[in-house]
Amino acid sequence: MIYCPSCGTANKSGSKFCNQCGHNLTGVSKAACPACGAANPTENLFCDSCGAKLAPLVTKGSEERAEIKGLSLPTKPLDEEGQGPLDGEEMPAAQEEEASVPEDTAKEDAGLPEEGEAEEEMPEWLLRLRAASPASGEQPEESAPSETPSPEDWGEFPSEDLEEADVPEWLQQLEPAEPMPPQEEPSAPEVEEGEEALLSDVWAEEANRDQLAAEPAEPEAPAPAEEEPPALKPTEELPQQAEEAPGGIPALAQPPSDEEDLAAWLQAEGPVILEPDEGEEEEEDIVFEPRAGETEEAPDQGRLPSWIETLAPEGVLPEELGGEFVEEGRRTPEAMGLERAEIPSWLEGLRPGRPGEQMPEAEETVEESGVLQGVVGALRLVQDIDPLPSSQMRPMSEPVAATPAQANLFADLLSRPTSSVVKPRPVSAAPKRERGFAWLATLLLIAAVLLPFFATGLVPGGDTVAVPQPVSDLAERIRDLNETDVVLVSFDYDPGVSTELDWPAEVILEDLEARSVNLLVMGVTPTGPGLAARFDIPAGEALFLGYLPGQEMGLQRLASNLEGIFTVDFFSNAVSDAPFGVKSLNDVALVLTIAASQETVRWWMEQVGTQTGAPPIGAIVSAAIEPAVRPYYASGQIVGLVSGWVGAQAYEEAAGLPASEGEGGPAALEAQSLAHLAIAGLILLGNAVYWGKRLFGRRA
Amino acid sequence: MSEAIGIWISALLTVMVFSYLLGDNPLYRLAEHLFIGTAIGYAVLVAYYSLLRPKLILPLVQAPLDNWTLVVPLLLSGLLLGRLNRRWHRLGIVPLAFLLGVGVALTIGGALFGSLLPQILQTIVSINPAAEGWNVALSNLILVAGTLSALFYFYFTADSGTGLGRVKSGFVKAWRGIGKWFIMVTFGAIFANTVMARVSLLIGRLQFLIYELPKSLR
């Protein structure tokens, strides 16, 4: 049995959640080992993990128990597993410790309170009753302690303070005329008048029931007053709601929330529960420890003890009572001579059905699918479970419409064979259309590029260009060079753009060769000198200085100490052996940088062009960087500028050189012009489609 | 014969690169890796034969006492290799600091006197048509307006909306709008030039396949 720490409801052993409030009982159903901390079932006397005895911890806890106070509510009998009785004041959380208490220890712990304590806690009205009771003084001390209320007190109390109408008639008839065995002293509940009526019933019934249970082995003998009171002790704690009742008022004044629990509770409280069924046996509350020499044999369920039979109302034979018990397991209040009005109205509604009444039969359901297919009433248990109070009822989740589809999809995915190869996603319609346009543009561009090589004159004037001012300025600067002048040509581009820059470089070198100037060939990129070596440059008129490392720092040193940087040329020949001597950059008449990156042009401008006495710098650049280089020409830092193929052909025209053939030349320029037209047409077409879709799309 | 083989290899690699039009494929990757590997190998050889061998190794081997100062750059180069190891990577800070310090100093000085000041001076031009003529005056006006408006476009500070701040804010906002158009036109020109350059490369490659490849077969 597990008591809920939240509401105090008794739940069956092994329960994970409280039947009443749904509280999690997993932590409650285990007892922690004091040695290793392992969780053990509450029935364990020794730890499953380390074998340590769990009793010491419980014994210590039991010594610290609080005194018994208040009314002993229905508790549970000792179960078959030997679970020890529990103290009525124990908190539910300590029950797991209490479960492992040895029987002897439990007996000691569950003994009656000390005399002094009983004297202090005895209610005033009880003291008055005891003083007024004639039997109290007649009781021998050895048989009944003076501080302990005698059974006579229990029998006399309700009739004194309660209204006559509130006392059940059968209780009055059942008032024990003989001394009752001593029982647990109730605390001093300060109850209102309205509550006393109910409490009187309960207390009287409690006394009756205790008396019944205290004489199981000797049903024939009435409880003698001289006999030592049995070791009556409550076995389990009070329900929490009873303990927490304000002002010490037992929670019996509050109606239980659950109808079925209340029914069991009423049966336990009622005067006629003598034959509980199996389920009710676990919920039985009070355990009577048999005295020495007595057996634990249960009394005959079908027969009342003789002393009860003597207390039976007039006209009710013991046989009738016994037969009624055997047949129905209970006696109705009418059979006991009670009137219906004596039961509070709120309890009346919760009373279990009378014998013979037909309970509505629940429909039996048959499972139609799943592993429970064909099982009848498989889900009926759900309906039998006590529902939660409406305030604690959790919202039920209902399957949505998409759930079966999702479940099927998940099952389908699980059934598919696994593969580590990622399959390409199918291309949707829109990307296909876009890819089609991309291929169309590519084919159009390739056609525009190839057509001029097979049919010239497709673009009128496409093979001729106007000579821009930067080109003519550079051509004029080169034209002014003398044969003794030295021109430094720096190949500052990579093979990737050699197709575009080889033609301008070739045109410039051709013009320089025609002027018979001396050349210094170098490069600020590692691949530059190698590209320069492809051109047909007379060795006697040129010196291959090779690669100049250091980028900006190298150019800075070049401007200050050219002779110190280049000791050997690209072919490992000593620069000092060159046919023309150049000691510094000031000896150079013109610097030409052939660059594909604006960075290299900027290095020349910033590190060489800013030096005092620096030679003029001309640039032959890729068309891609012309916008970035042109400002240097506008500022006068560059004396001339040739850009790409267009610049190369313009330079040919400006320098009066023959037109190139083969790679580069009119065919290449015409192809370039046609390609530019195709690209421009595609851009215009794309814009027209875009704006058309926006305009007409909006109107639509 | 060797030239013909080189032409055929070049043509084959060109076609392999063009195969990227059909999507990423092993042929394109092979050509790409060959290009990168060849370029790096060539750069290493050039650096060795153009720099290390003639300016460091040979002087130290042939006349170490006369060129003992070359030990300093050699040591700095060795420390730079410490960047390859996590344990010794802090040793590479010294040569890196030296390189960055010298480079930044040169860049600042060169940029100031080689680019910034000359370009600023270039924008101080006359916009008087009487003195320069209408064409030059208009060109200068566009130059000045474009330069100023482009600079205003990168003026992100917001002013208060009261009094003089409102006037200033409106002024900056108007110039920012003009500057945005100048910047867009500049980007368009750069893009057009880039397209032109890349089309030239395409034409050159196709021209190579059309003209150079048949020549090798003759």
pLDDT of B87: 85
For B54, which residue in chain A has the nearest alpha carbon? Answer: A568
Instruction: Compute the mean pLDDT over every residue in chain A, rounded to the nearest whole number.
Output: 67
Whole-angstrom Cα distance, residue A682 to residue A695?
20
Residue of B199, B202, B210 to mutate, testing the A interface (most A Cβ within 10 Å of its Cβ): B199
**Length of chain A as a residue count:** 700
Domains of chain A, earliest start first:
78-94+157-365 (no CATH), 433-457+680-699 (no CATH), 469-663 (3.40.50)
pLDDT of A78: 43
- Confidence category of residue A223, pLDDT binned at 50, 70, 90: very low
Whole-angstrom Cα distance, residue B101 to residue B82?
19
Rg (Cα) of chain A, in Å, rounded? 56
Given CB atoms, is B123 within the 8 Å cutoff of chain A? no
Around Cβ A243, how many Cβ atoms within 10 Å? Answer: 19
pLDDT of A452: 81
Is the ipTM higher than 0.90? The answer is no
Average pLDDT over residues A360-374: 65
Amino acid letter, residue A398: E
DSSP H/E element including A375: none
Q: Are A548 and A561 in contact (CB under 8 A)?
A: no
Sort out which chain B residues have CB atoms less than 8 A from A671's CB and list them: 203, 207
pLDDT at A488 over 90: yes
For the sheet with A590-595, list strands across it: A542-547, A518-523, A486-492, A590-595, A617-621, A640-643
CA dist A67 → A64, A111, A118, A503 (Å): 9, 10, 10, 112
Q: Are A85 and A110 in contact (CB under 8 A)?
A: yes
Whole-angstrom Cα distance, residue A46 to residue A52?
5
Window 486-505 of A, Cβ < 8 Å to B: 494-497, 499-500
Window 137-176 of B, Cβ < 8 Å to A: none
Contacts of B82 (CB under 8 A, 6+ apart): B88, B89, B90, B91, B92
Could you tell me the maximum CA-CA distance found in chain B, to the nearest angstrom?
Answer: 83
Structure token digits, residue A397? 């989740």
For A670, which residue in chain B has the nearest alpha carbon? Answer: B203
pLDDT at A337 over 90: no
Given CB atoms, is B113 within the 8 Å cutoff of chain A? yes
Window 592-631 of A, Cβ < 8 Å to B: 602-603, 605-607, 609-610, 622-628, 631
Instruction: Compute the mean pLDDT over every residue in chain B, rounded to the nearest whole number.
Output: 89
Sort out which chain B residues have CB atoms less than 8 A from A631's CB and list them: 119, 122
**Interior angle at CA A524, CA A518 and CA A528, nearest 5:** 70
pLDDT at A265 over 60: no
Could you tell me the maximum CA-CA distance found in chain A, to the nearest angstrom?
Answer: 155
Q: How far is A367 from chain B (nearest CA, A)?
A: 58
- Picking from B46, B106, B118, the nearest residue to A635 by CB comes out as B118
User: What is the rounded (10 degree) CA torsion for A74, A78, A80, A84?
Assistant: 130
SS3 state at B64: coil
SS3 state at A574: strand
Q: How far is B177 from chain A (nearest CA, A)?
A: 22
- Picking from A496, A556, A644, the nearest residue to B196 by CB comes out as A644
B84 torsion bin: left (phi>0), alpha (psi -120 to 50), beta (else): alpha
- Picking from B109, B115, B193, the nearest residue to A623 by CB comes out as B193
Average pLDDT over residues A286-299: 46
User: What is the rounded (10 degree) CA torsion for A373, A377, A383, A386?
Assistant: -110
Average pLDDT over residues B23-49: 91
DSSP string, B140-175: HHHHHHHHHHHHHHT--PPPPSSTHHHHHHHHHHHH
pLDDT of A312: 54
CA dist A34 → A51, A52, A58 (Å): 11, 8, 10
DSSP H/E element including A128: helix A124-132
For residues A267 and A563, the model is more confident at: A563
Given CB atoms, is B34 within the 8 Å cutoff of chain A? no
Given CB atoms, is A450 within the 8 Å cutoff of chain B? yes
User: Strand (E) positions, chain B?
Assistant: none
pLDDT at B113 over 60: yes
Ordered alpha helix ranges (H), A455-551: 469-479, 498-515, 528-532
Rg (Cα) of chain B, in Å, rounded? 28
Sort out which chain A residues have CB atoms less than 8 A from B113's CB and list them: 606, 610
For A597, which residue in chain B has the nearest alpha carbon? Answer: B194
Is A549 within 8 Å of B110 when comparing Cβ atoms? no
Residue of B104, B124, B183, B203 to mutate, testing the A interface (most A Cβ within 10 Å of its Cβ): B203
Given CB atoms, is B64 within the 8 Å cutoff of chain A? no
For residues B131 and B151, the model is more confident at: B151
DSSP string, A60-101: HHHHTPPPP-S-----B---TT-PPP--TT--GGGHHHHTT-
Around Cβ A206, how many Cβ atoms within 10 Å? Answer: 23
**Length of chain B as a residue count:** 218
Sign of CA dihedral B102, B104, B105, B109: positive
Q: Tell which residue, A492, A529, A526, has the closest CA to residue A622.
A: A492
SS3 state at A519: strand
- Picking from A526, A570, A636, the nearest residue to B42 by CB comes out as A526
pLDDT of A352: 61
**Lowest pLDDT segment from A155-169, A435-449, B2-16, B65-79:** A155-169
Given CB atoms, is A563 within the 8 Å cutoff of chain B? no
Is A497 within 8 Å of B206 when comparing Cβ atoms? no
Is A624 within 8 Å of B193 when comparing Cβ atoms? yes
Structure token digits, residue A38? 């392992």
Amino acid letter, residue A510: E
User: Strand (E) positions, A269-335?
Assistant: 286-288
Q: How far is A454 from chain B (nearest CA, A)?
A: 10
Given CB atoms, is B201 within the 8 Å cutoff of chain A? yes
Contacts of A262 (CB under 8 A, 6+ apart): A255, A256, A347, A350
Given CB atoms, is A169 within the 8 Å cutoff of chain B? no
Q: How far is B87 from chain A (nearest CA, A)?
A: 28
pLDDT of A491: 95
Is A446 within 8 Å of B193 when comparing Cβ atoms? no
Ordered alpha helix ranges (H), A329-419: 345-348, 380-384, 402-415
For B32, which residue in chain A has the nearest alpha carbon? Answer: A496
Average pLDDT over residues A210-237: 46
SS3 state at A256: coil
- Confidence category of residue A206, pLDDT binned at 50, 70, 90: low
Sign of CA dihedral A8, A9, A10, A14: negative
- Confidence category of residue A102, pLDDT binned at 50, 70, 90: very low
Is A442 within 8 Å of B114 when comparing Cβ atoms? no
- Picking from B197, B198, B203, the nearest residue to A671 by CB comes out as B203
For residues A344 and B122, the model is more confident at: B122
Q: Tell which residue, A139, A236, A220, has the closest CA to residue A180.
A: A139
- Confidence category of residue A200, pLDDT binned at 50, 70, 90: low
